Chains A and B, each alone.
Chain A
Amino acid sequence: AQRVTQPEKLLSVFKGAPVELKCNYSYSGSPELFWYVQYSRQRLQLLLRHISRESIKGFTADLNKGETSFHLKKPFAQEEDSAMYYCALTYGGSQGNLIFGKGTKLSVKP
């Protein structure tokens, strides 16, 4: 079955440090990968998607099909980046449904 794995439940870094939130997926075809973010007391929202290859709020993510990974990176973490981050996958047979990972809580300390 298709699966999204986020190995870290909690990631704690200091402000200004680089951050990498890991995401691995299991799917043999060509998936579409996404990162969603949920800030405290806010709605879950789309952060970025791999097909757009964009940088949002300083975050980037590259799809590595060889390693089946889609890690989220930011060179210098900010306190306002503290949030819950979910990696998600959709594919042709999923009828458009997103499969979410279990999430990683990022805490950026001052």
Chain B
Amino acid sequence: IAGITQAPTSQILAAGRRMTLRCTQDMRHNAMYWYRQDLGLGLRLIHYSNTAGTTGKGEVPDGYSVSRANTDDFPLTLASAVPSQTSVYFCASSAEQNTGELFFGEGSRLTVL
């Protein structure tokens, strides 16, 4: 049972480069989310999608973009990475919005130099 799969697990990136973090789920969940986890700041929502074809901005969307072409995939793109985007990124999904029960991936550790 895969659940949520994120790739890459870890990446070191030069500032200014473009980077896409991949997220795939096999649970046919409607809602998907991207969070970043930073020491002392907890988890902050970057972008979300309540269903395929729709996306929305979370608490910290600047510098990030997402797409939801289908139910299973929800990639997060950093168009031009900056050091402040060094973080651990978590993708999550839930069967429906408003349930509060999220299933998380294992995270992608990104270092921007």
Query: Interface size class for chain B?
Result: 20 to 34
Contact A86 B104 (CB under 8 A): no
- Does A46 lie at the interface of the complex (its beta carbon under 8 Å from any beta carbon of B)? yes
- Bound CA–CA A46/B102 (angstroms): 7
- Whole-angstrom CA separation of A90 from B94 in the bound complex: 13
Q: CB within 8 A of B90: which of A44, A95, A101?
A: A44
Chain A CB within 8 A of B44 CB:
yes
Check if A49 is an interface residue, CB within 8 A of chain B: yes
Q: Are B100 and A43 in contact (CB under 8 A)?
A: no
Judge whether B40 and A49 touch: CB under 8 Å: no
Please give the number of chain A residues whose Cβ is less than 8 angstroms from any Cβ of chain B in the complex.
Answer: 23
Q: In the complex, are the beta carbons of A90 and B98 less than 8 A apart?
A: yes
CB atoms of B94 and A49 under 8 A apart: no
| A109 interfacial contact with B, CB 8 Å | no
Alpha-carbon separation in the docked complex, A97 to B43 (Å) = 12
Decide: A49 and B100 in contact? CB cutoff 8 A: yes
Complex: chain A residue closest to B58, CB-CB: A97
Contact in complex: B100, A88 (CB < 8 Å): yes
> Does A100 lie within 8 Å of B44, measured CB to CB?
yes
With A100-B44, A101-B42 as contacts: A95 and B101 at CB distance below 8 Å: no
Known: A6-B42, A45-B103, A100-B35. 13 other contacts (CB 8 A): A43-B104, A43-B105, A46-B101, A49-B101, A86-B43, A88-B100, A90-B98, A95-B98, A96-B31, A96-B96, A97-B97, A98-B33, A98-B100
